[in-house]
């Protein structure tokens, strides 16, 4: 026990300090394992799994070995759990609410848990696992959708395995490790959720402290309004789940193209979305916006060909772009804020978005955007000058001309002219 107290007393204060600092989880776990080895623990392999609050990933796993150090892996959400998970010690612990599990890697355990067989083949002699929940004790556990907490295992390749003092050490430090991980994961969870629901840049700004009502920045940026065409009629014809799947399909393409070129998704507006390019200069913003528009065109055209081949409904899209001075920040009530943009440039973008049917083009952008991009990069064609509602002076509008040509997949790569559904 004297040895245990000495080892734990050197490790626990360090873990508390790391939790207060909220440094990265991977660095924490890597150093944690190294410190255990330095303290005489015969550790060969360490693995930890923790739930992730993310729409795509259900969890994250960290693995450490004495020879290779630390690595991590995200586990994608699945309707059907993987067979390896269902036959793992971790699953058994959650399903039966076991606090710990230990195995000397006997033949029976290796037959029951394939992982233990793999570890035995690689030279393992002792396996010890602990679970730690962050939720209330009376909340039921679903092993396929673990509650908040951590699952960890330690594996030894020493001939004698772990001693009872080693096991006692792991039990003593594990709750403190869990507390440090909870501190770090809470900040990561806040960052992930804010970026997912507010957008990458707004999420970072809110997390860094920009959450006071009325706080805003005056910036120059390109504002874009993306919209799906014919949504009202589609909404009346398609079953709800099929409609949602279709919207997500097209939004996924538009979001990927926007973010690939440095843009931010400020919000979704029914079947449309408000986007912003703020890369440091109007020239960079305009170039990124038009490059993203060209990518959307190619990707949506190709996806429409695939959806037609699959017998799925298709639709088209519109995008209006304008640049100018805007206010970017928190607007709303004291208990319900929105991180958004306001200003004449935003209103004028909405007016431009109302011109798609009149000019017969999917992509429309203002002269401000056109003048900011070298003409050699895109074949920009004037659509004429228009008096827009609420705008005092005429505004010249443009689109991009791209000759329609067939790709290897048979999908058009040109910007398609706007087609009025009501006229079909």
pLDDT for 174 equals: 95
235 or 373: which carries more pLDDT confidence?
A: 373
What are the pLDDT digits (tens) for 389-411?
888 889 999 999 876 543 333 33
- Lowest-pLDDT range, 63-72, 73-82, 326-335? 73-82
Residue 3 has pLDDT above 60, yes or no: no
Looking up tokens 């992730």 gives 52
pLDDT for 415 equals: 45
Q: What Cα–Cα distance (Å) separates residue 157 from each residue in 43, 71, 123, 170?
A: 7, 20, 6, 16
Query: Do residues 404 and 375 make contact, with C-beta atoms less than 8 angstroms apart?
Result: no
**CA-based torsion, 376, 379, 381, 387: positive or negative:** negative
Ramachandran bin of 241, using left for φ above 0, alpha for ψ from -120 to 50, beta for the remaining angles: alpha
236 or 49: which carries more pLDDT confidence?
A: 49
Query: Do residues 324 and 220 make contact, with C-beta atoms less than 8 angstroms apart?
Result: yes
- % residues pLDDT > 70 (the chain): 81
By DSSP bridging, strand 57-65 and strand 69-76 are: antiparallel
pLDDT for 188 equals: 65
CA distance 41 to 39: 6
pLDDT for 421 equals: 38
Residue 412 has pLDDT above 70, yes or no: no
Residue 141 has pLDDT above 60, yes or no: no
Residue 30 has pLDDT above 50, yes or no: yes
Mean pLDDT for the chain?
84
Looking up tokens 């792991």 gives 170
Cα 170 to chain centroid distance, Å, stands at 33
Per-residue confidence band for 165, with pLDDT thresholds at 50, 70 and 90:
very high
CA distance 129 to 102: 6
Query: Do residues 318 and 356 make contact, with C-beta atoms less than 8 angstroms apart?
Result: yes
Q: What Cα–Cα distance (Å) separates residue 48 from each residue in 173, 254, 280, 297?
A: 14, 36, 41, 43
Residues 6+ apart with CB under 8 A from 25: 50, 62, 181, 184, 185, 188
Burial per residue of 112-144, b for 16 or more beta-carbon CB atoms within 10 angstroms, e otherwise: ebebbbebbeeebbbbbbbbbbbeeeeeebebe
Residue 417 has pLDDT above 50, yes or no: no
Per-residue confidence band for 224, with pLDDT thresholds at 50, 70 and 90:
very high
Token code pair at residue 302: 């190709």
408 or 129: which carries more pLDDT confidence?
A: 129
Residue 212 has pLDDT above 80, yes or no: no
pTM of the entire structure? 0.66
CA distance 218 to 400: 29
pLDDT for 78 equals: 63
pLDDT for 55 equals: 56
Per-residue confidence band for 56, with pLDDT thresholds at 50, 70 and 90:
low
CA distance 290 to 370: 9
- Lowest-pLDDT range, 56-60, 128-132, 176-180, 338-342? 56-60
Per-residue confidence band for 374, with pLDDT thresholds at 50, 70 and 90:
confident
Closest Cα partner for 64 from 93, 94, 35, 23?
Answer: 35
Residue 170 has pLDDT above 70, yes or no: yes
CA distance 216 to 205: 11
Closest Cα partner for 171 from 126, 129, 125?
Answer: 129
402 or 388: which carries more pLDDT confidence?
A: 388
Residues 6+ apart with CB under 8 A from 42: 156, 157, 158, 160, 161, 162, 166
Residue 142 has pLDDT above 90, yes or no: no
pLDDT for 75 equals: 74
What is the DSSP-derived secondary structure letter of residue 140?
A: P
pLDDT for 51 equals: 77
Residue 287 has pLDDT above 90, yes or no: yes
- Please state the rounded mean pLDDT for residues 114-138: 88
CA distance 96 to 141: 9
CA distance 369 to 291: 12
Helix or strand holding residue 56 (H, E): none
Per-residue confidence band for 190, with pLDDT thresholds at 50, 70 and 90:
low
Closest Cα partner for 124 from 156, 92, 153?
Answer: 156
Per-residue confidence band for 291, with pLDDT thresholds at 50, 70 and 90:
very high
Q: What is the separation, in whole angstroms, between the first and last Cα of the chain? A: 84
Residue 320 has pLDDT above 60, yes or no: yes
Dihedral over alpha carbons 247, 189, 138, 76 (to 10 degrees): 50
Per-residue confidence band for 19, with pLDDT thresholds at 50, 70 and 90:
confident
pLDDT for 335 equals: 78
């Amino acid at each position: 026990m004297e040895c245990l107290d000495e080892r734990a007393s050197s490790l626990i204060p360090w873990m508390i300090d790391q939790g207060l600092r909220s440094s990265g989880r991977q660095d924490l776990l890597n150093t944690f394992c190294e410190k255990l080895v330095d303290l005489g623990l015969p550790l060969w392999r360490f693995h930890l799994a923790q739930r992730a609050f993310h729409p795509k990933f259900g969890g994250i796993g960290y693995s450490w070995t004495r020879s290779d150090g630390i690595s991590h892996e995200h586990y994608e959400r699945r309707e059907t759990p993987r067979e390896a998970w269902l036959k793992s010690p971790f699953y058994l612990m959650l399903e039966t609410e076991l606090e710990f599990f230990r195995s000397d890697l006997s033949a029976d355990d290796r037959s029951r848990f394939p992982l233990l067989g793999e570890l035995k083949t690689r030279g393992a002699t002792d396996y010890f696992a602990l679970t730690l929940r962050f939720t209330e004790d009376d909340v039921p556990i679903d092993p396929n959708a673990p509650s908040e907490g951590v699952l960890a295992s330690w594996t030894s390749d020493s001939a004698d395995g772990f001693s009872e003092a080693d096991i006692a050490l792991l039990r003593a430090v594990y709750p403190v490790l869990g507390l440090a991980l909870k501190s770090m994961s809470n900040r990561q969870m806040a960052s992930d959720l804010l970026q997912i629901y507010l957008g990458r840049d707004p999420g970072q700004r809110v997390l860094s402290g920009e959450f006071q009502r009325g706080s805003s920045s005056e910036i120059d940026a390109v504002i874009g309004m993306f919209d799906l065409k014919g949504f009202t009629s589609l909404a009346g014809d398609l079953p709800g789940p099929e409609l949602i799947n279709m919207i997500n399909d097209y939004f996924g393409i538009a979001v990927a193209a926007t973010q690939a070129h440095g843009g931010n998704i400020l919000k979704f507006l029914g079947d449309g979305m408000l986007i912003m390019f703020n890369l440091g200069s109007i020239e960079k913003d305009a170039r990124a916006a038009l490059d993203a528009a060209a990518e959307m065109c190619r990707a949506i055209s190709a996806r429409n060909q695939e959806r037609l081949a699959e017998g799925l409904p298709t639709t088209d899209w519109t995008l209006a772009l304008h640049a100018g001075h805007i206010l970017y920040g928190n607007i709303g009530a004291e208990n319900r804020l929105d991180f958004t943009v306001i200003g004449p440039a935003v209103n004028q973008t909405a007016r431009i978005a109302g011109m798609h049917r009149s000019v017969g083009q999917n992509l429309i952008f203002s002269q401000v955007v056109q003048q900011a991009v070298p003409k050699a990069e895109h074949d920009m064609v004037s659509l004429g000058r228009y008096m827009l509602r609420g705008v005092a002076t005429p505004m010249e509008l443009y689109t991009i001309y791209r000759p329609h040509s067939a790709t290897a997949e048979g999908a058009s790569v040109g910007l398609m002219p706007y087609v009025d559904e009501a006229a079909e």
